[in-house]
Structure 1
Amino acid sequence: MKKLLRRLSRVGDSSQYQPLYRKTKSATGYSRSQSARVPSGHVPVYVGEDADEPTERFVIKAELLSQPAFAELLSQVADEFGYNHSGALRIPCSVSVFEQLISRAVYELEQL
C-alpha cells in the first residue's frame, strides 16, 4: 500500500476536477445539513490516516470506484485491513493522497 501511495503522490494537481464534494467531520459528529445527503449515483467515502482522528467525508461518483487507480487502492486496503467491515467506506490514507487518487480516476474515466 505504501508503494501505491508514493506513486499517487506524484500525480498532478487535483484541483481541476469537479465530481468531488467534501464535508468535514466535527468533534461531535457529522452535520445533519442537507448537504449530508448523497446524490443518486454517488458514494460517501471517509478518508483519514488515523482511526482516532476526524475524517473528511467525500461524495464521489460511484463509477470512479471501478477505475484502475481506485480499484487498486481498494484491493490493497482490503488485503491490509480485511473485508470484515460494516458501515461506510473508510480509506486510511491522507486527504491529499486521496484527492490525487480521485484526480487520477477522473482522468482514467475521461479517457474511455
Structure 2
Amino acid sequence: MKKLIRRLARVSHYSPLSSSSQTRVPEGYLPVYVGDEMERFVVSADLLNHPVFINLLNKSAQEYGYQQKGVLRIPCHVLVFQRVLDALRLGQEGSCDLEYLLSQ
C-alpha cells in the first residue's frame, strides 16, 4: 500500500488516451475516477495519507488490484466521495466515517 501511495503522490499530470488533447493536473495533485460513472476528480496527494483515503485505496485494490494501469479508479458512489471531500475540506473529521457515508 505504501508503494502505491508513493507512486500516486508523484503524479504531476495525466494524459488521456486521446493524444489530441492533454489535461494538466497541478503538481502535488492526482486525478481519480470515481464510481460507475467514472467521474473525474483532482485531489491533493496530501489526502492519500488520510485514514478515509487509505480505506478507499484498500477498496480500490480489492476491486481492481494493485497493478491498475492508467489513472486511479475508486469504487465509491460519486455523492459519497463528494461528501468525503467536503468534510475533509471543512475539517470535519467525524463526518468522514466511510461506512456511515456509504450507508446513507
Count of residue pairs the alignment pairs up:
73
Give the drift of 1:77: 2.1
The match for 1:56 among 39, 51, 57 is: 39
For 1:30-109, list aligned pairs within 5 A: 32=21, 36-49=23-36, 54-106=37-89, 107=91, 108=93
Q: Take 1:104 and 1:94, find their aligned partners in 2: how far apart are those partners?
A: 15
**Runs of 4 or more off by more than 2 Å in structure 1?**
103-108
Q: Distance in 1 between matches of 2:33 and 2:51?
A: 20
Paired with 1:43 and 1:80, the residues of 2 have a C-alpha distance of 20
Structure with the largest fraction of helix: 2
**SS of the counterpart of 1:99?**
helix
RMSD: 2.2
Structure 2: 5+ residue stretches without partners: 1-17, 94-104
Are 1:45 and 1:89, in contact at CA under 8 Å, matched by a contact in 2? yes
Deviation at 1:99, TM superposition (A): 0.8
- 8 Å contact kept, 2:35–2:78: yes
State the SS of the aligned residue for 1:83.
Answer: coil
Percent sequence identity over aligned pairs: 48
Secondary structure (helix, strand or coil) at the match of 2:76 reads: coil
Deviations, residues 6-62 of structure 1 (Å, cap 9, x unaligned)? xxxxxxxxxxxxxxxxxxxxxxx7x937xx31011111111122xxxx421111111
Taking structure 1 as the reference length, the TM-score comes to 0.55
- Where do 5+ consecutive residues of structure 1 fail to align? 1-28
